[in-house]
Structures are given as C-alpha cells and as structure tokens.
Structure 1
C-alpha cells in the first residue's frame, strides 16, 4: 500500500521513500483517527499528510517523552536542535541526516509551497510548553493555539487543494485545527494536569469558582465537582461553536478532499458527544469514539472519496 502511495506521489529516491514510510508508521501508531481519515485522500496526497503529522508528533514527543527529573533545559536543547536542523536544511545544503520526519517534511513543504513561517510559528508554540503551564485568559490561549493548531490546518490546505483562492479557505482550515485542539483540551484535562499543564483560560474557570487546586482535587479523588462540570460545559459549548465556524469551509476544498475532512470533522466532534454523555466525568476515563463507529464512517467516506476521484480523474 505504501509503495503505491509513494509511486503516485512521485517519490522515487530510496532514502526519501524510507523517510515517508517511517512518517506513515508514526501516523498509524499515534494518530489512529487522523490516520483513518487519511485513507479517504487520494494515494498521491497521503505521503505529504503523513510527513506533516510526523513532524508535529516529533516535536510533541520532544516535549513530553523526557523524564521530568532531567529538567526542561534538556527538552529545550533538543527542541532547539530539531528547529535548527529544519531551518538549516531549508536555507542551505544541510542534509536532515537520519531524521525521517525532517527529511519528509522538507520535501513536502517544497513540493506544496507550504510557507516556512507556519513551521516557525508551530515551533514557537511548542517552546511555550516548556515554560507556560497556565493561560490567564482566552487571548493568551488563542496565541498558543495559533501556532499549535491553526497552522496545522494551514499547512494541510495546499495538500488538500481548494476550488478558489487558498486565502479564502484559510480561515476555515485554521478554525478546524482549533476545533480539534479544543476537543483535545477537554478530553485530556486529566492527562495534561499530570504534566502540570492546564489548557483552559483561568479567568473563565474562575467565573465558576474553579482553579488548579480544585482540578487537582478532582483528579486525586477521581470525581467531578459541580463547579468544574459547569466550567467544562462552558468550554464544551465554545468548542462546538468553533466546529460550526469550520463546517462551511468544506465546500471550499477540492471535491476529492471533502470526504476526508468531513469524516475527520464528524468523528472528532463526536468526542464532544462522548464527553457530554459522560456528564463531564473526565477524571479517570477518556472520551473516545468507538471503533465500529469509526469504521462505519470511514467506509461511507471511502465510497464518496472514490466517486469524487473518478469524476476528477485523480489517482
């Protein structure tokens, strides 16, 4: 399967093919819902999407995979080295060496003319995770989310293709990236708190009488407080509204890419449904969409994607 995708994408050089193959493995292992949605894209599009995912995941792993006893200085050094290798490869003859995520993403960015500023903004937000553990208000969180989520949508846009000018579709792509991340923030409050981070605006939590101490109490006791439930319900409604902002952007995409994005939007937004079904009891359990539902949606999407590719003569 991967060989046919690389052939369709015109990737011929053996080392580059291996880099893309490893990015695909990262996506399949660590981003199951996202990977499932990529199966709805044409084979020629998939390697680029895997490369972008692999790059983002590589940066995220640098932040989260080190033992806390080794300190943030080591993580900062590793992230800076990763950033330096990326931009050295862009601006000179430096080779990415044995880092497949950089090899593949540099090739993808050049092929699809993805702006390097988007990668710089992404890495800037990743650096924030080294020192910022709380966000005082929505504006501060929005600044973080631009680099950590909205630019992901903007990076993917050239790969997905649009029916009109890219800039007209860009706000919708950014909104969808934000909607996905807001969903993660709600689903992962427990996990993020264990890492010392809270990705919910402190002033909006405080309006319901919620602070870090109360969230920590909920985590320790594996139960939700009524004040926390109300605060999470408000954040849940905000995430829903962002999905509503993103939805009208699907028709701005190339017809062959619409089934993929539609399925991804539906499945990810259904995580919000599961959180609501759990009555916001997010401590000790993780909201997820069942495999049967994911496969059912994917099967329907594959049929639509195949028909769209046939109509437009896309491999």
Structure 2
C-alpha cells in the first residue's frame, strides 16, 4: 500500500529560497511592479513576490514565453499546457511538491494568507479562454476576461495585504484595480496581440466601426482603433478611481504602494491616448524617472486621502463572477457555490 505524501507547505522548500527566487522573477518580469512593491513592508513585499512568481510562471507556460518575452506561437494556446497549470496549482495548494519553484511559491503564500483554489481557478480560466482561441463578442465578454486574468489577481493581492475574506467591498475595489490594469494593458498591446493571433476588442465594437474581424490593424482603420483605445482607457480610469477607495482602507505603506502602481499603469494608458495613431508603432512604457515621479505623487495622495469617484463602474466584481460561472464550463473541476465566494445579488 502506497503511503500518502505528507503535506509540505511550499513543496518542502525553505521559505527564504522561495522568496529569493520570486524576487528574481519579478525583477526580470515587471519593472513597474518591482518599483511599487519596494514600498511594501517586508512581509507584504515577500508575499506579493511569491504570488507574482506564480502568475508570471503560469503566463509563461501558457504562452511559451520566458518572463513575458517573445510569444512562441508554436506553443501558445495549448490546452494541455493550461491543464498542466491547473494540476500543478492544485497540487501546490494541497501542500504537495510540484518540482516547479513558482508553484511551490504559490503553495507557500496561499497557506500564509488564505488564497483558495477557487481564486486560483478563476485566474487559470483566463488562460483556458486563450487556449480555446476565444475572442470577446461583447463588452461584457471583454470584462469577464479581464476579471479572470487580472481582477481575480487583484482579489488575491488584497488577501496578501491582509484584507479579510469577508471584507467584500474592499475585495471588490481590489478587483477594480486589476480590471483597470488589464484594460490599459489591452489598449497598449493591441498590435502585439494581433501579431499573436489574438484580439481582445469586442466584435460588437469592431462592427460599430465597420471593421471586419482580424483587420483592425490595417492602416485605414487606425483612426477607429484610436477611438476604441480611448474607450478602453476611459473604462480603466473609472475602475481605477473606484479602486482608490479600497486603497484608502489599507495601511499607509500598502496604500502608497498600490497608489504608485495605479499611477504607473494609468500613465501607460495615457501615453497610448496621447500617441493616438502612433501608439502601436512602439510599445508604450514609463521610464524609471517617470515611475519615481508617479511614486512621489502617490505619496502625496496617500497622505492627503479622501477618494470619491465621480462615476461608478458599469461592471462589478459580483456581476463578472456570475458571468464567469454561467459561461460554458472551461474545466471539469468542483467549484464553490457563489454564495460562499461573496457574490452579492444585483440589488444588494
């Protein structure tokens, strides 16, 4: 009779080793988040890095990349890769070794802050959509995708920062921040996504401007593309403003870090808008000097406080979670009922 493998948080690896490798991963994969994460206290920073390492590794496995490098079209979109991500993730959450340090890092941080299998599956379902060659038909489809790949990560980050699992409104605001980040990313990466055979612009938007699917990067459609990018950035701004309410409930250093990240990612969207038809001739980014200015601005905002958005987001975390659950099942895995995941009714 085979003996069951004993539960080992972090796959049995020393926590210090996991943290060190996670720090190396974020330094290579995301300069923006690296700068913002330096403002966290030590415990929050280490846990944020552990979570990032898993997110980065999942993304790389799904797309055949190395820390977000050139997309390997021969490997991207492989459903078996997504299933491997899911199996390794579940194994890590069960306290089993995975032979992959990024997944062991997830097991470590999940045990420390209460990240659940449902939270992780929500993120993995976004990779599954890409593996299916999925494309949004409506704005709601777009936002559901953004929820999977970024909004759900925002909720996990909130848990990393100590937000209680029953603090639903604050978790909603964390989701808003993830949605804002992803909307800005989509506006910036329209050309790169097209080169990889992907498009996250809803078909109904393309139809609005009489653009046939797959033709949006043609020169004659640049003016329409600018309008759609502005729409994405405007949506990001609304979710960003809502997210700042949640940031105001965090401890000082956490609030400063989150507002810094929000400023940096918001600046990327603004650069896309300002560059207009030239926005996709090169990848929009912020320099180190600009990042530091955004950090300084975030410090002043952190001290001043008082956030009140002028416009509420059209799409809420509760709506998007319901949409995700009602969609065609992506994987045959047990899911927790909606009431256990804090999804409120529409009239709550």
Question: TM range, normalised to the smaller chain?
Answer: 0.7 to 0.9
1:15 match: 14
Cα pair 1:208 1:231 within 8 Å, conserved: no
Residue by residue over 1:26-58, the C-alpha shift from the partner in whole angstroms, topping out at 9 and shown as x without a partner, is: 111111101110000001111110111111111
1:95 match: 97
1:148 to partner: Cα distance: 0.9
Which one of 226, 230, 234 corresponds to residue 223 of structure 2?
226
1:83 match: 86
Secondary structure of 1:216's aligned partner: coil
Q: Does 1:69 align with 2:71?
A: no
Cα pair 1:83 1:123 within 8 Å, conserved: yes
Cα pair 1:224 1:281 within 8 Å, conserved: no
1:29 match: 28
1:164 to partner: Cα distance: 10
- Aligned ranges for residues 1-315 of structure 1 at < 5 Å? 15-65=14-64, 67-69=72-74, 72=77, 75-91=78-94, 94-97=96-99, 99-162=100-163, 166-218=167-219, 225-298=222-295
Q: Using a 3 Å threshold, how does the CA distance of structure 1 residues 237 and 124 change in structure 2: closer, same or farther?
A: same
Mapped to 2, the partners of 1:279 and 1:198 lie a distance apart of 19
Mapped to 2, the partners of 1:81 and 1:257 lie a distance apart of 33
Residue by residue over 1:81-117, the C-alpha shift from the partner in whole angstroms, topping out at 9 and shown as x without a partner, is: 23212212333x63122x1111111110111112221
Cα pair 2:135 2:198 within 8 Å, conserved: yes
Cα pair 2:25 2:53 within 8 Å, conserved: yes
1:224 to partner: Cα distance: 5.9
Q: Using a 3 Å threshold, how does the CA distance of structure 1 residues 245 and 95 change in structure 2: closer, same or farther?
A: same
Residue by residue over 1:103-140, the C-alpha shift from the partner in whole angstroms, topping out at 9 and shown as x without a partner, is: 11111011111222100111111111111342110121
- Mark the runs of 5 or more structure 1 residues left unpaired by the alignment: 1-10, 307-315
Deviates more, 1:106-115 or 1:164-173: 164-173
Q: TM-score, normalised by structure 1?
A: 0.83
Secondary structure of 2:97's aligned partner: coil
Cα pair 1:149 1:178 within 8 Å, conserved: yes
1:245 to partner: Cα distance: 2.1
Mapped to 2, the partners of 1:292 and 1:224 lie a distance apart of 34
Mapped to 2, the partners of 1:95 and 1:21 lie a distance apart of 18
Cα pair 1:40 1:298 within 8 Å, conserved: no
Secondary structure of 2:96's aligned partner: coil
Q: Using a 3 Å threshold, how does the CA distance of structure 1 residues 270 and 81 change in structure 2: closer, same or farther?
A: same
Deviates more, 1:206-215 or 1:253-262: 206-215
- Mark the runs of 5 or more structure 2 residues left unpaired by the alignment: 1-9, 66-71, 304-348
Aligned residues: 287
